[in-house]
Structure 1
Amino acid sequence: MHRFWEKIIQPIFKKRNVQSIVEIGAASGAHTVKILKCCCERNAKLFVIDPFPQFDTASFQSIYGNRLQIWRQISLCALPQIKHYDAVLIDGDHNWYTVYHELKIIENKAKQTGKFPIVFLHDTEWPYGRRDMYYLPDTIPAHYRKPYSTKGIKAGQSQLADQGGTNQGLNNATYEGGEKNGVLTAIEDFLRETYFPIRFYRVKTNNGLGILIPNNQEDDLTIRQIIAFSGL
Structure 2
Amino acid sequence: MSRYERWNALLELLAGQGRLSVEEAAASLDVSTATIRRDFDELARQQMIVRTRGGAVAESVSYDLPLRYKTARHAGEKQRIAAAAAELVSPGAVVGMNGGTTTSEVARALALLADAERPSTIVTNALNIAAELTVRGNLKIVVVGGVVRPQSYELIGPLASGVIGQLSLDTAFLGVDALDLAGTYAHDEGEAEVNNLLIRRAAQVVAVADSSKVARRAFARICALDAVDVLVTDTGVPDTVAAEFTERGVKVLRA
Q: TM-score range by the shorter chain?
A: 0.3 to 0.5
| Greater RCO, CA 8 A, separation 6+ | 1
Tell me the TM-score normalised to structure 1 length: 0.45
Larger radius of gyration: 2
Tell me the TM-score normalised to structure 2 length: 0.41
Whose strand fraction is larger, Structure 1's or Structure 2's? 2
